[in-house]
């Protein structure tokens, strides 16, 4: 069999929904054979692009496309210092593109290469956020009508903070930012779930995202207080530099815990999984380097009874969303999939194939949401195509990121 090699690597940056997306296109020595991968780091897209074109492209051109394990290891260790958002997302773009190519060469969807599907479709959770219980109840009932059985419930963003200016209660001269009041946030969150369960019962599975914005001691208070409301999981209650605190959290609360959105390095999740300190692993698969490490992580988690709930935000291209779905289909220990950001904004959700919008103008072959589940399109590879001419109509922007400028009441910075 003729060996197929990498002929070129291109980067396509586009923002059809106003969110910077980075897609990697790996071209091969076989005419018309190429693969697409996601390298999206929305807030540092120019750095990722530079990394791919300046460092990974010269390293990888001329190498075989089928030796994915070898190629991933080479990209990972070539810079000597390893792990981190820029490098891992860049590597993920090439890695996912190689899996896409392998699926096309085999004439199979990627999930078939992972051992085949153990389910026909993937149950997902959607996002609900409102300023009142009534507004949130209306959204919950809307999603119920669409067959969704899991919902993430927030009120006023993460940590309840929305102010972009220093409030009057802050010290004189305090800098602008999103100001948080953790104790008020905890009280309001518990009250919210109390009222939601009273109005809606326990049929729906609810998720809540702390986003690491409270102290470890406060996280324990919140997790214990939410026990009567039977959350499906409480997401990211602790920052990654305080993971030792999970031993206390596990010992004192029955609320299921999901963690890992910011993880980069296997050392960050290995102990949490092997000691069964979390219930769901929630990494962003491009942030850990792509499908190659993510499938190993899924297998590791399954050995210890930890389920997957991969990160699926708006700042992730449809290629990465598709990669999530293919991994979900083939993972026995799958839990639930976050599903957001891949439909045009402010539209009424129906079958994706019937929708129009900027994102669907740029990308074709998105997995399809229907009756609470997401289905792959069954094309070879990940099945997602990109219209490069349309992508040019929606250029990325380089701006100062504001939502991560979160502050305590005294004006000091707190993790976002």
Catalytic residues: 158, 211
Burial 174-185 (b: 16+ CB within 10 A, else e): beebbbbbbeeb
How far apart, in whole angstroms, are the C-alpha atoms of residue 412 and residue 43?
22
Residue 364 bridge partners (DSSP)? 385
Q: Specify the 3-state DSSP secondary structure of 9.
A: strand
Q: Are strands 280-281 and 307-308 parallel, antiparallel or unpaired?
A: parallel
The single residue listed with the structure tokens 């291109």 is 10
Residues 185 and 406: beta-carbon distance below 8 Å: no
Q: What are the φ and ψ backbone dihedral angles of 222, each rounded to 5 degrees?
A: -65, -45
How far apart, in whole angstroms, are the C-alpha atoms of residue 405 and residue 384?
34
Q: Specify the 3-state DSSP secondary structure of 93.
A: helix
Query: 70: buried, middle or exposed (CB in 10 Å: 19+, 13-18, 0-12)?
Result: exposed
Helices within 226-265 (DSSP H only): 246-252
How far apart, in whole angstroms, are the C-alpha atoms of residue 252 and residue 116?
39
Q: Specify the 3-state DSSP secondary structure of 25.
A: strand
Helices within 161-215 (DSSP H only): 182-200
How far apart, in whole angstroms, are the C-alpha atoms of residue 83 and residue 79?
10
How far apart, in whole angstroms, are the C-alpha atoms of residue 125 and residue 150?
5
Query: 201: buried, middle or exposed (CB in 10 Å: 19+, 13-18, 0-12)?
Result: exposed
User: Using CA of residue 111, residue 112, residue 115, residue 116, what is the dihedral sign?
Assistant: positive
Contacts of 100 (CB under 8 A, 6+ apart): 35, 36, 37, 110, 319, 381, 382
Residues 338 and 315: beta-carbon distance below 8 Å: no
Q: Where are the beta strands (DSSP E) in 15-146?
A: 21-28, 34-38, 122-129
């Amino acid at each position: 069999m003729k060996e197929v090699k990498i002929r070129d690597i291109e980067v396509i940056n586009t923002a059809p929904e106003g969110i910077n997306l980075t897609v990697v296109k790996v071209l091969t020595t076989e005419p018309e054979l190429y693969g697409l991968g996601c390298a999206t780091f929305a807030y540092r897209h120019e750095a990722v692009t530079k990394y791919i074109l300046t460092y990974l492209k010269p390293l990888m051109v001329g190498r075989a496309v089928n030796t994915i394990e070898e190629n991933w290891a080479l990209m990972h260790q070539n810079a000597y210092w390893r792990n981190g958002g820029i490098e891992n997302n860049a590597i993920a773009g090439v890695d996912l593109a190689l899996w896409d190519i392998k699926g096309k060469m085999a004439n199979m969807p990627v999930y078939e290469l992972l051992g085949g599907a153990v389910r026909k479709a993937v149950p997902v959770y959607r996002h609900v956020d409102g300023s009142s219980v009534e507004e949130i109840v209306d959204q919950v009932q809307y999603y119920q009508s669409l067959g969704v059985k899991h919902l993430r419930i927030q009120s006023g963003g993460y940590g309840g903070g929305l102010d972009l200016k220093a409030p009057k209660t802050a010290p004189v001269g305090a800098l602008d930012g999103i100001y948080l009041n953790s104790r008020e946030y905890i009280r309001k969150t518990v009250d919210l779930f109390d009222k939601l369960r009273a109005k809606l019962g326990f049929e729906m599975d609810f998720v809540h995202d702390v986003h690491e914005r409270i102290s470890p001691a406060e996280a324990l208070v919140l997790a214990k207080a939410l026990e009567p409301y039977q959350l499906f999981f409480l997401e990211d209650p602790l920052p990654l530099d305080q993971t030792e605190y999970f031993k206390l959290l596990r010992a004192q609360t029955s609320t299921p815990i999901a963690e890992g959105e910011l993880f980069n390095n296997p050392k960050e999740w290995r102990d949490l999984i092997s000691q069964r300190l979390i219930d769901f692993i929630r990494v962003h698969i491009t942030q850990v380097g792509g499908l190659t490490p993510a499938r190993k992580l899924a297998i590791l988690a399954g050995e210890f009874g930890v389920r997957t709930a991969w990160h699926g935000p708006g700042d992730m291209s449809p290629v990465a969303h598709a990669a999530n779905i293919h991994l979900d289909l083939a993972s026995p220990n799958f839990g639930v999939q976050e599903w957001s950001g891949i439909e045009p904004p402010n539209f009424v959700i129906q079958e994706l194939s019937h929708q129009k919008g900027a994102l669907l103008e740029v990308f074709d072959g998105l997995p399809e949401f229907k009756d609470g589940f997401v289905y792959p399109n069954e094309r070879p590879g990940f099945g997602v195509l990109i219209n490069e001419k349309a992508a040019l109509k929606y250029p990325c922007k380089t701006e100062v990121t504001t939502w991560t400028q979160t502050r305590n009441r005294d004006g000091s910075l707190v993790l976002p």
